[in-house]
Amino acid sequence: MSEINTESQDAQLTAEEIAAGDRPAPKVDVSADYEAAQEFSSSSFDKSGEGEAAAEAATAPHFAVHSAEETQLTPDHLASEPTGDPDLYRDMAKQVTHGAEATGNVDDDLMKKALELGKPGEH
């Protein structure tokens, strides 16, 4: 931990010396630094075809991936298209609510009680 403090103190001391004019400011050649960075941005392995092959092998799926197939609509599927016929809707509603008996019976008295309890301000 003392190394970090020493580095921070050295940096602060250098900054103060530069500000006071006791030490010249370092000269930075951004263009040269950029050019040097470009040389390190890709290795000879990446520049050859081996890098691309290695990357492809590393990211290849481990399992076979199947392509999607187009679904063909049959006449049964077309029956669910909207027709505007209310009888079809009633038939569908009967099919959906056919199992409603298992969930409990709702009679007029229960509905009246629920409506009375549900009115705001009368509790």
Q: What is the pLDDT of residues 62-88, one digit of tens each?
A: 777 778 888 776 665 555 666 778 887
Q: How confident is the model at residue 13 (pLDDT cuts 50, 70, 90)?
A: very high
pLDDT greater than 70 at residue 123: no
Residue bearing the bigger pLDDT, 122 or 56: 56
pLDDT greater than 90 at residue 17: yes
What is the Cα–Cα distance from 77 to 79, expressed in whole angstroms?
5
Q: How confident is the model at residue 118 (pLDDT cuts 50, 70, 90)?
A: confident
Q: What is the 3-state secondary structure (H, E, C) of 42-106?
A: CCHHHHCHHHHHHHHHHHCCCCCCCCCCCCCCCHHHHCCCCCCCHHHHHHHHHHHHHHHHHHCCC
Q: How confident is the model at residue 12 (pLDDT cuts 50, 70, 90)?
A: very high
pLDDT greater than 60 at residue 95: yes
Least confident of 12-16, 31-35, 62-66: 62-66
Query: Are residues 116 and 122 in contact, defined by beta-carbon separation less than 8 angstroms?
Result: yes
pTM as predicted: 0.24
